[in-house]
């Protein structure tokens, strides 16, 4: 189980030690799918209301 830690640097240690191991095992991504959070989550881009109204 992963829970929050109260010690200073606990999250840094997790990122530095656990994430590379997960990546080595092919469980965690090594690259992102795009440039935005929506890209990373696989969501369609949002169009402005003006662009939708013009179409």
> Can you tell me which residue has the tokens 């949002």?
46
pLDDT in tens, 1-55: 566 666 777 888 888 999 999 999 999 888 887 898 898 888 988 888 888 888 7
DSSP E strand boundaries for 1-55: none
Reference 34, options 25, 44, 24; nearest CA is 44
- List the chain domain ranges: 10-54
What are the distances in angstroms from CA 39 to CA 1, 9, 33, 45? Answer: 28, 29, 6, 8
Task: Give the span between the Cα atoms of 21 and 42, in whole angstroms.
Answer: 24
Question: What pTM was computed for the model?
Answer: 0.52
């Amino acid at each position: 189980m992963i829970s929050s830690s109260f010690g200073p640097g606990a999250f840094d240690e997790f990122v530095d030690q656990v994430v590379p191991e997960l990546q080595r095992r092919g469980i965690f991504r090594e690259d992102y799918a795009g440039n935005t959070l929506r890209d990373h989550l696989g969501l369609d881009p949002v169009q402005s209301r003006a662009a939708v109204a013009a179409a």
